[in-house]
Structure 1
Amino acid sequence: MLKGLYQRFIYITSSLILWGCANSTSLFPPTKTLNVAVSPTPKPPQPIEEKPVNGLGGYFYSNGENAFGPFTQRMVQKCQGLNGGSVCNTQQWPEALFLKAYGQKRCPDGSRFNQILGYCVDGNEALGLFPKELIPTCNQANDSSTCVSTRQNARLLYKKMQDKKLITPVGRPPQFVLLAFDGSRSLDAWKKSRNFTQTMAKKNIQAHFTYFISGVYFVNNEKRNLYTPPGGKGRGRSAIGWGGTPEEINLRLEQLNKAYQEGHEIGSHAVGHFDGSRWSEADWTREFDYFNQFIFNAYKINNLKGSLAFDVSAIQGFRAPELGQSPGLYKTLKKRRFRYDTSRVAAANYWPKLENGVWNFPLASLTTAMTRKNVLSMDYNFYYAHSKGKPNSSNAKRYEEDMFQTYLKYFQSNYLGNRAPVHIGHHFSDWNQGAYWKALFRFAEEVCGKPEVQCVTYSVLADFMDLQTPEQIAIYQKGGFPKLDKGKKN
Structure 2
Amino acid sequence: MREISRRGVLGLAAGAAVAGLAGCGRDHTRSRRAPGGGTGPTGTAYSAHPIGDGSTSDTGPQPHQPVPERLEPGQRPPQFVVFSWDGAGELDDGLFSRFRKVADDHGAKMTFFLSGIYLLPESRKDLYRPPNNPVGASAIGYLSDTHVRATLEQVRLAWLEGHEIGTHFNGHFCAGSGSVGRWTPADWRSEIEQAVSFVENWRTNTGFDDLPALPFDYRRELTGGRTPCLLGRDGLLPTAARLGWRYDASAPGGLQMWPGRLLGMWNLPLQSVPFPGHSFEVLSMDYNMLANQSANSTRGNPANYPEWERQARDAYLSGFLRAYETNRAPLFIGNHFERWNGGIYMDAVEDALRRIADHDEVRMVSFRQFADWLDVQDPAVLAKLRTLGPGLPPPGGWRRFLAQERIPTRGGGPVSPGPLGEGDPRNGASPPAGTAPILS
Q: Is TM (by shorter chain) over 0.5?
A: yes
Partner of 1:211: 112
Are positions 1:396 and 2:370 aligned together?
A: no
Deviations 1:122-178 (A, max 9, x none): xxxxxxxxxxxxxxxxxxxxxxxxxxxxxxxxxxxx47xx5xxxxxx7701110011
CA contact (8 A) 1:371 1:402 kept: no
Q: 1:328 aligns with which of 235, 242, 254?
A: 235
CA distance in structure 2 between the aligned counterparts of 1:351 and 1:338, rounded to whole angstroms:
19
Partner of 2:158: 259
Instruction: Quote the offset at 1:355 in angstroms.
Output: 0.9
Q: Closer, same or farther in 2 for the Cα pair 1:482/1:296, shift >3 Å?
A: farther
Give 3-state SS (helix, strand or coil) of 2:271's partner: strand
Are positions 1:428 and 2:379 aligned together?
A: no
Q: Closer, same or farther in 2 for the Cα pair 1:326/1:412, shift >3 Å?
A: closer
CA distance in structure 2 between the aligned counterparts of 1:335 and 1:297, rounded to whole angstroms:
24
Partner of 2:68: 117
Partner of 2:224: 317
CA contact (8 A) 1:114 1:463 kept: no
CA contact (8 A) 1:317 1:340 kept: yes
CA distance in structure 1 between the aligned counterparts of 2:164 and 2:181, rounded to whole angstroms:
26
Partner of 2:30: 56
Partner of 1:359: 266
* Structure label with greater radius of gyration: 1
CA contact (8 A) 1:175 1:420 kept: yes
Q: Closer, same or farther in 2 for the Cα pair 1:410/1:293, shift >3 Å?
A: same
Deviations 1:280-301 (A, max 9, x none): 0110000001101111111221
Amino acid aligned to 2:273: L
Partner of 2:148: 249
CA distance in structure 2 between the aligned counterparts of 1:293 and 1:347, rounded to whole angstroms:
32
Partner of 2:87: 183
Corresponding residue pairs, total:
329
Are positions 1:300 and 2:204 aligned together?
A: yes
Give 3-state SS (helix, strand or coil) of 1:116's partner: strand
CA contact (8 A) 1:171 1:481 kept: no
CA contact (8 A) 1:348 1:410 kept: no
Give 3-state SS (helix, strand or coil) of 1:179's partner: strand
CA contact (8 A) 2:253 2:283 kept: no
Instruction: Quote the offset at 1:354 in angstroms.
Output: 1.2
Q: Closer, same or farther in 2 for the Cα pair 1:339/1:57, shift >3 Å?
A: farther
Instruction: Quote the offset at 1:471 in angstroms.
Output: 1.8
Give 3-state SS (helix, strand or coil) of 1:318's partner: coil
Give 3-state SS (helix, strand or coil) of 2:182's partner: coil
Instruction: Quote the offset at 1:327 in angstroms.
Output: 2.2
Instruction: Quote the offset at 1:115 in angstroms.
Output: 3.3
Are positions 1:240 and 2:140 aligned together?
A: yes
Q: Closer, same or farther in 2 for the Cα pair 1:178/1:287, shift >3 Å?
A: same
Partner of 2:420: none
CA distance in structure 2 between the aligned counterparts of 1:217 and 1:284, rounded to whole angstroms:
18
RMSD of aligned Cα (Å):
2.5
Deviations 1:29-69 (A, max 9, x none): xxxxxxxxxxxxxxxxxxxxxxxxxx9379xxxxxxxxxxx
Q: How does 1:16-415 map to 2 (within 5 A)?
A: 56=30, 105-106=60-61, 115-117=66-68, 158=70, 171-187=75-91, 188-198=94-104, 200=105, 205-231=106-132, 233-245=133-145, 247-275=146-174, 276-305=180-209, 306-312=212-218, 313-390=220-297, 391-392=299-300, 393-415=302-324
Give 3-state SS (helix, strand or coil) of 1:408's partner: helix
Q: Closer, same or farther in 2 for the Cα pair 1:113/1:399, shift >3 Å?
A: closer
Instruction: Quote the offset at 1:253 in angstroms.
Output: 0.5
Deviations 1:198-247 (A, max 9, x none): 3x2xxxx311221101011111010001111112x1011001001222x4
Amino acid aligned to 2:60: K
Q: Closer, same or farther in 2 for the Cα pair 1:267/1:371, shift >3 Å?
A: same
Amino acid aligned to 1:253: L
Amino acid aligned to 1:264: H
Give 3-state SS (helix, strand or coil) of 2:67's partner: coil
Instruction: Quote the offset at 1:483 in angstroms.
Output: 4.5
Q: Closer, same or farther in 2 for the Cα pair 1:217/1:424, shift >3 Å?
A: same
CA contact (8 A) 2:120 2:198 kept: yes
Report the TM-score, using the length of structure 1 for normalisation: 0.63
CA contact (8 A) 2:273 2:318 kept: no
CA contact (8 A) 2:116 2:194 kept: yes
- Determine what percentage of the aligned residue pairs are the same residue: 32
- Name the stretch that deviates more: 277-286 or 476-485: 476-485
- Name the stretch that deviates more: 263-272 or 371-380: 371-380
CA contact (8 A) 2:74 2:398 kept: no
Unaligned 5+ segments in structure 1 are 1-54, 59-102, 119-157, 163-168, 486-490
Partner of 1:140: none
Deviations 1:180-207 (A, max 9, x none): 1111223311111112223x2xxxx311
Partner of 1:93: none
Partner of 1:16: none
Deviations 1:279-322 (A, max 9, x none): 10110000001101111111221011231111121222110010
Are positions 1:478 and 2:379 aligned together?
A: no
CA contact (8 A) 2:237 2:263 kept: yes
Partner of 1:30: none
Instruction: Quote the offset at 1:348 in angstroms.
Output: 3.4
Instruction: Quote the offset at 1:371 in angstroms.
Output: 4.0
CA distance in structure 1 between the aligned counterparts of 2:311 and 2:341, rounded to whole angstroms:
13
Give 3-state SS (helix, strand or coil) of 2:108's partner: coil
